[in-house]
Structure 1
Amino acid sequence: MEQENSKTYKIVEVCLLAGKIMLQSGGETYRVEDTMTRIANAFGIYGSHCFVTPTGIIFSIDGVEPTKLVRIVERSTDLKKVTVVNSISRKIASGELELDEAYQRLKAAEKADYKFPIWIQIAAASLASGCFLIMFQGQWKDFIPAMITGGIGYPCLLYFDKLARVRFFAEFLSSFIMGLIAALLIKIGIGTELDKIIIGSVMPLVPGLLITNAVRDLMAGHLVAGLSKGAEAFLTAFAIGAGIAVILSFR
């Protein structure tokens, strides 16, 4: 009996770990709940219940105490981790992985860093800024100014995010710096269209994944998660807009 309870608790730990990794890495709420339920079913637990919000996961099994809660403090975008957990859950469902091996692989995935090096992220943000400018019908002579603005503003976002630990202030300050750089480039005669340069450079800051997940969660019936993610996306957009508005108000 004690051994059976120990195995059940280990299954709960595996389910919670898989859900935690996916939620922290940008996975949708319904995908997290579905993955946790499938893992539990694969190990013979059919009476599982999970409730997922952007800041926490509650998981329980019928007849087993206690219900467990995992707090989600930090969230980022790392879809590679979501893919890895999906792959592990599929192998569990097909019977290829035992309980202990699955737990070890999930722990390894949690510790792994699949993100690109910082310099590649900055280069991609810079190039994307110039491409967004062209997409929004900007002039080709503003392509380089947009790249410069985005290439300086994005590392500022990474720096302020680590410094302040408050995403709102990091986005506000980085967009403020982007607007300031764009205005300076216009003043010294390098750029021509301030609005297009600003729009192109701030696009890498736009919370596209948050907005997408909010809509998908709302459509899937996860109203609490959908509304909270929508509110977070709105605050991010507000912070970006406020930083740019400060610059424009002084022109």
Structure 2
Amino acid sequence: MELNINKHEEYLKDVIILAGEILLESGAGGYRIEQTMNQIARHFGYADCNSFVTNTVINFSLHDLTYPRVKRVTARNTNLIKVSRVNAVAHQITSDQLTVEEALEKLKVIQDQSESYPAHYKAVASALVGLSFLYLQSGDMQNIATAMIAAAAGFFVKERVASIVQSLFIPEFIGALLIAFIVIAMNHGLTDPELSVTLIAAVMPIVPGVLITNSLQDLLAGNLMMALTKGLEAAVTSFAIGQV
């Protein structure tokens, strides 16, 4: 059977695939990505659309008489700013505030943006996370500076290594190793160092919380393949941290 090529449908598929690609690269869960893609398609009357997302591949088809699209995604990070902006564009599309062409241009701008929070903001936030977990574990006041410095330095180094080495295990391992060195060095000579409590608090900023949460969400939504791949990715990252 010969497939039809419709310019409007091709533009629409461009929008849907690009939205899914940005969401997947930015750390969104598979169920949410599929839901967003299907909502856009159904808004334009394509009730029989199909989408299937794994942590590296996006598959989408508007209907049986058009070419399906397959997109390979290799870069993945956590960027909630982009997730929020893509969701806003999807809402504007489904509320008829944007045409397909306008939405495509907006999504291209979002994709090209490298905008994220500055490194020093992330370092400060990581230090506060370390402090919070030290408090939750009833850590000693003498370890506050150690936990904050180690958490900030470990997260910053992990981010820098991840921007150079496109690998799962290595950035987290190096970040956790630096945290361990800082905690041990700064606790040297203290009467009651509580190394384990301080270490746990300091490594929390590099624990793959987003991956774990997305894995559980996809598991509850019935997307078992996405849940399994996200879970394995989180397990590998956690293993790298635990090796230290």
Is the TM value for this pair above 0.5? Answer: yes
Tell me the SS of whatever aligns to 2:187.
helix
Task: Name the counterpart of 2:169.
Answer: 168
Q: Deviations over 1:98-117 (max 9, x none)?
A: 11001111111112234110
Tell me the SS of whatever aligns to 2:71.
strand
Counterpart contact for 1:157–1:170, Cα < 8 Å: yes
The letter of the residue matching 1:236 is T
Counterpart contact for 2:41–2:62, Cα < 8 Å: no
Q: Which has the higher helix share?
A: 1
Task: Name the counterpart of 1:12.
Answer: 13
Which stretch shifts more, 221-230 or 87-96? 87-96
Structure 2: runs of 5 or more not aligned: none
Counterpart contact for 1:51–1:57, Cα < 8 Å: yes
Task: Calculate the TM-score normalised by the size of structure 1.
Answer: 0.91
1:180 matched to 2:181? The reply is yes
Tell me the SS of whatever aligns to 2:6.
helix
Task: Write the mapping of 1:69-218 to structure 2, written as runs, cut at 5 A.
Answer: 69-189=70-190, 192-218=193-219
Task: Name the counterpart of 1:21.
Answer: 22
Aligned partners of 2:118, 2:17: CA distance in 1, in Å? 29
The letter of the residue matching 2:128 is L
How many residue pairs are counted as aligned between the two chains? 241
Aligned partners of 1:200, 1:183: CA distance in 2, in Å? 14
Task: Write the mapping of 1:213-224 to structure 2, written as runs, cut at 5 A.
Answer: 213-224=214-225
1:188 shift after superposition: 4.3
Which stretch shifts more, 136-145 or 110-119? 110-119
Structure 1: runs of 5 or more not aligned: 245-251
Counterpart contact for 2:5–2:66, Cα < 8 Å: no
Task: Name the counterpart of 1:240.
Answer: 241
Counterpart contact for 1:56–1:70, Cα < 8 Å: yes
Q: Deviations over 1:147-201 (max 9, x none)?
A: 1211221221112212322121111111111111111112244972111111111
Tell me the SS of whatever aligns to 1:66.
coil
Task: Calculate the TM-score normalised by the size of structure 2.
Answer: 0.93
Identity %: 34
Aligned partners of 1:58, 1:190: CA distance in 2, in Å? 58
Task: Name the counterpart of 2:41.
Answer: 40
Tell me the SS of whatever aligns to 2:52.
strand
Aligned partners of 2:88, 2:77: CA distance in 1, in Å? 20
The letter of the residue matching 1:197 is T
Aligned partners of 1:214, 1:94: CA distance in 2, in Å? 30
1:4 shift after superposition: 6.8
Aligned partners of 1:235, 1:4: CA distance in 2, in Å? 43
Counterpart contact for 1:142–1:191, Cα < 8 Å: no
The letter of the residue matching 1:116 is Y
1:94 shift after superposition: 1.5
Task: Name the counterpart of 2:52.
Answer: 51
Which stretch shifts more, 75-84 or 214-223? 75-84
The letter of the residue matching 2:157 is C
Task: Name the counterpart of 1:248.
Answer: none
